[in-house]
């Protein structure tokens, strides 16, 4: 087997791969992949619903970046996810994975004590989604090995982007797969405008009647396309 830039831990079930990766991290990048999560979470503490066949993975690492640049890591993880999950997968800013208008996954990045834990959740096979607007990547069950294989490609791609530094995380790639750009969007509490650009620091530039503004993920609850 080829050496990987991270240690790998595969488990059948865990409460949260984010928590497991954080607790088990010992200095070398660690990828935790689970067949099932019982308490997975999304952005702003939302519960993550798990499909019958899903990818749940978290990568813990200590980036040699200034902490002020760490918010870009979520976007870098998203670019790596699109590359790993295949054609047709796009990003809705900042961290939702979509295909054909349906949400198929998402990214979550947390940090503590100098360690970043980037999480990827994706629905691989879900014949009858129980969540409105949700979808899956495969029409047939890809089998139990698919999650581990896709997670490995994602983790390697993310670490490559991390190694490139805060200015090389993949801005052009992100813009190329960002479904939000060029669309009218609304954001809480009462914003409305057209998404026109993603900045190097990860901010979303929007055109509004009052002029251009920049949104940051930590400052808004939700950015939605206008129907």
For each of the domains in the chain, give its residue range(s) and CATH number, in order of start: 7-174 (3.30.930.10), 184-225 (2.30.30)
Other residues' Cβ atoms within 10 Å of the Cβ of residue 170: 23
Q: Give the residue from 11, 17, 207 showing the smallest Cα distance to 119.
A: 17
Residue 37: pLDDT over 90: no
Q: The tokens of 158 are what?
A: 């993310």
Q: Among all chains, which residue has been given the structure tokens 């990860």?
A: 202
- Bridge partners (DSSP) listed for residue 10: 33
Residue 46: pLDDT over 70: no
Mean pLDDT, range 143-161, rounded to an integer? 96
pLDDT digits (tens, 9 = 90+) for 94-140: 999 999 989 999 999 999 999 999 999 999 999 999 888 999 999 99
224 CB-side CA count, 13 A = 11
What does pTM read for this prediction? 0.91
- Rounded alpha-carbon distances, angstroms, from residue 20 to 136, 159, 188: 25, 19, 32
Mean pLDDT, range 35-41, rounded to an integer? 78
pLDDT digits (tens, 9 = 90+) for 70-94: 999 999 999 999 999 999 999 999 9
């Amino acid at each position: 087997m080829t050496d990987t830039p991270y240690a790998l831990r595969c488990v059948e079930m865990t409460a949260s791969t984010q928590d497991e990766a954080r607790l088990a991290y010992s200095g070398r990048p660690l990828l935790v992949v689970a067949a099932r999560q019982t308490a997975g979470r999304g952005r702003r503490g939302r519960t993550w619903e798990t499909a019958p066949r899903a990818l749940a993975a978290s990568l813990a690492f200590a980036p040699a970046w200034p902490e002020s640049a760490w918010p870009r890591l979520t976007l870098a993880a998203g670019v790596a996810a699109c590359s790993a999950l295949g054609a047709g997968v796009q990003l809705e800013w900042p961290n939702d994975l979509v295909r054909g208008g349906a949400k198929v996954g998402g990214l979550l990045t947390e940090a503590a004590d100098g360690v970043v834990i980037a999480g990827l959740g994706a629905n691989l096979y879900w014949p009858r989604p129980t969540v409105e607007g949700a979808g899956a990547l495969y029409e047939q069950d890809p089998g139990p090995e698919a999650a581990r294989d896709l997670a490995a490609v994602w983790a390697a791609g993310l670490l490559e982007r991390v190694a490139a530094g805060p200015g090389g995380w993949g801005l052009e790639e992100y813009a190329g797969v960002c479904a939000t750009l060029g669309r009218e969007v609304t954001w809480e509490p009462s914003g409305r405008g057209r998404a026109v650009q993603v900045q190097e620091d990860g901010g979303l530039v929007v055109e509004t009647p009052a002029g251009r503004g920049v949104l940051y993920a930590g400052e808004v609850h939700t950015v939605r396309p206008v129907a």
